[in-house]
Structure 1
Amino acid sequence: MYRKEFFVFNQNQPIRAVIRNYQEKDFSGLIAVQQECFPPPFPSDLWWNKEQLQNHVTLFPEGALCIEIEGKVVGSMTGLLVDFDSKHPEHTWETITDNGYIRNHDSEGNTLYVVDISVSPTYRKLGLGKWLMLSMYEVVVYKGLERLLGGGRMPGYHKKENEMTPEQYLESVVKGELKDPVITFLLQCGRTPVQVVANYLKDEESCDFGALMEWKNPFFLPISEQGEC
């Protein structure tokens, strides 16, 4: 199973951190982090429940990561494996993640799909979200998968809805003309846009749009190219 110990810095002060697979004992802490990260108007029924978390640690424990600071769980990232067809990328968060229950996890899938990433607001200045993302990239490489994929919220879009399309908004963020709390973070983590997806998630701030963004495994070699090197 996954476990990584390292230091993060609060200004010049090193702080010990651990990223590991979360377990049943962590469920209450994980739910508390979700409540801190996604306050109203984010729908409370989209916060984790214990049945969902139990499925995560049972069906795909490799994709269930949490981060601890001084022994306290302050963030998490969850994924499942899907067989993704890049020629038909349209989907909703509910469908591809089974509403977060991941009962559709495909152990033979080619893609690690991000169900959720969240870090307690109190600890966000420590760069923990990026550490979680990098750790999940390591899972992608370890499993020999083609990519990491997920739909990012665009919480700044509702402020620009009357001025531009969601595609134009995403393009402006990529160009650096606008900053978005989620999309800019994903870009900084090495994720690249695939396309905008309508009705991706019930989210007023994003006007229900999501930006599908991927990270391609640099070590992945398609079957058609194997043996040609």
Structure 2
Amino acid sequence: MYRKEIYVFHGDMAKKAIIRNYTASDFPALIRVQQESFPPPFPSELWWNEEQLTNHVTLFPEGALCAEIDGRIVGSMTGLLVDFDQTHPSHTWEEMTDGGYIRNHRPDGNTLYVVDICVSPSYRKFGLGKWLMQSMYEVVVRLNVDRLLGGGRMPRYHRYAKEMSAQQYVEHVLSGKLKDPVITFLLRCGRLPIALVENYLEDEESCNYAVLMEWKNPFK
């Protein structure tokens, strides 16, 4: 099982944090973090439910991580193993994650696919999202799979959708002309964009687009 203790910083304020696998006793706190992290217009039916979380900790506990500060769960990240065909990258979040239930988890899969990552808004300045991502990279290396992969939302795209295409928006983010809270974050975590995906998720802010982004196992 995965567990590490680190110090995280908000300015000069240091806090001890724990990143570990979550268990059934953590379910209420994980659902609370989802509600805090994805307020409307994000669809409430996409918040975790107990059946989904039960599948996470039973089907693939290695891919069920949470971040804890002062005994309070303030973030989580979840994945599953899939077989990914690089020649056919387009897919939906629903197809790849079984709608978050991960019943399609393949223990022999070549790719660790990100189902979700979230951090409570009041703790985001501590850099916990990046630490969760780094921890999942370590799981990729330990399991000796080819990559970490997932679709990144584009939550600021709706502000520019009338004046530029989704592809142009991504190019502006990559060039630094625009910043997107999700895509820019993933770039800073070392993820590389490989495809723009239409109708990835019902997501008004992103106009249903996502950028498929990967981190390749450097030992493969």
Q: How does 1:109-188 map to 2 (within 5 A)?
A: 109-188=109-188
What amino acid is the match of 2:49? N
Q: Give, in whole Å, the separation in 1 of the partners of 2:93 and 2:38.
A: 16
1:96 match: 96
Name the SS of the counterpart of 2:214 in structure 1: strand
What amino acid is the match of 2:36? E
1:25 match: 25
Name the SS of the counterpart of 1:132 in structure 2: helix
Q: Give, in whole Å, the separation in 2 of the partners of 1:9 and 1:125.
A: 8
CA deviation after TM superposition for structure 1 residue 10, in Å: 2.3
**Percent of aligned positions with the same letter in both sequences?**
70
CA deviation after TM superposition for structure 1 residue 14, in Å: 1.6
CA deviation after TM superposition for structure 1 residue 164, in Å: 1.1
TM superposition score normalised by structure 2: 0.99
TM superposition score normalised by structure 1: 0.95
What amino acid is the match of 1:25? S
What amino acid is the match of 2:46? L
What amino acid is the match of 2:176? G
Name the SS of the counterpart of 2:6 in structure 1: strand
What amino acid is the match of 1:210? A
2:67 match: 67
Aligned residues: 220
CA deviation after TM superposition for structure 1 residue 152, in Å: 0.5
1:200 counterpart = 2:217:
no
1:84 match: 84
Specify every segment of 5 or more residues in structure 1 that has no aligned partner in the other structure, as ranges.
221-229
1:7 match: 7
Name the SS of the counterpart of 1:99 in structure 2: helix
CA deviation after TM superposition for structure 1 residue 9, in Å: 1.3
2:40 match: 40
Q: Give, in whole Å, the separation in 2 of the partners of 1:128 and 1:71.
A: 15
CA deviation after TM superposition for structure 1 residue 206, in Å: 0.2
* 4+ aligned runs moved over 6 Å, structure 1: none
Q: 1:117-159: per-residue Cα shift (whole Å, max 9, x none)?
A: 0000000000000000000000000000100000000001001
Specify every segment of 5 or more residues in structure 2 that has no aligned partner in the other structure, as ranges.
none
CA deviation after TM superposition for structure 1 residue 12, in Å: 1.4
